[in-house]
Amino acid sequence: MHVTILIPCKDESAAIGHLGDALARLPDILGEGHSFAVVAVDDGSTDATSEALEAMGAALPFPVDVRRHDVNKGIGAALRTAAEGVGGDVVVTYDADRPYPLEDLPRLLQPIADDRADVVSASPWHADGATHGVSPSRSFLSRAASSLYRLRLGRRARGLFTITCGYRAWRRDTFTAALPRRDGFTATAEMLLNALRLGARAAETPSTLRSRTEGHSKMRVMRTAWAHLGLLLRG
């Protein structure tokens, strides 16, 4: 299985070294029978993110394609840029600050390999999931938004607990069909909604959401909450 990992980045120079260390473990995490590529999008960073990504790419034993936005456009725009010409059997979206363990990747890929799912999310709100050091405001926003999305989706969201997660494995054709129109932090939720409306099979695996240890979050809770409300109302 060929796995392409897409990573949006904005002012993440402090995190890229640790990200590279995590990505370097991929062959050990997944074992034989897998190949890898990374597409990283520097979304208008004002620090040395691009240079750090180039250095990371030079050190990793698989291809790293670094793409750039001259100005910050948002996660959704970065995912659309990363998706251009994307190859592989499976596309994985991942955040540069590593909020979820990359070691969970085998559990995200297995339902796709077994043809039981088209998209699989890491889920801290699953009964066996957890959080560590996550602020109450972020936890509340994610839980509340996920609950409202489940109500909106009805049966299509059965068995899903986390709608806003950025760590997902996608069958490649499902990923390209579900790309978001929105640019901001709601893009990950929009993509899952798009996929479910297209009839994709969605699954989750429990995971642990951790607070970042380098840099700072770009998400503004109230602005993101209003954006989720707009997505819920307009679809």
The total of structural domains in the chain comes to: 1
pTM comes to: 0.85
Radius of gyration of the chain (CA): 16
Q: Name the average pLDDT for the chain.
A: 87
pLDDT at residue 71 in the model:
95
CA 162, CA 150: separation in Å to the nearest integer? Answer: 9
Six-digit token string for 115: 């043809």
What's 11's domain CATH number? 3.90.550.10
195-228: pLDDT as tens digits: 998 999 999 999 999 875 665 555 554 555 545 5
pLDDT at 226: 45
User: Are 71 and 44 contacting, i.e. CB atoms less than 8 angstroms apart?
Assistant: yes
Tokens 């590279």 sit on residue: 20
How many CA atoms, within 13 angstroms, populate the side-chain half-sphere of residue 116?
Answer: 10
Domain that holds residue 86: 2-234
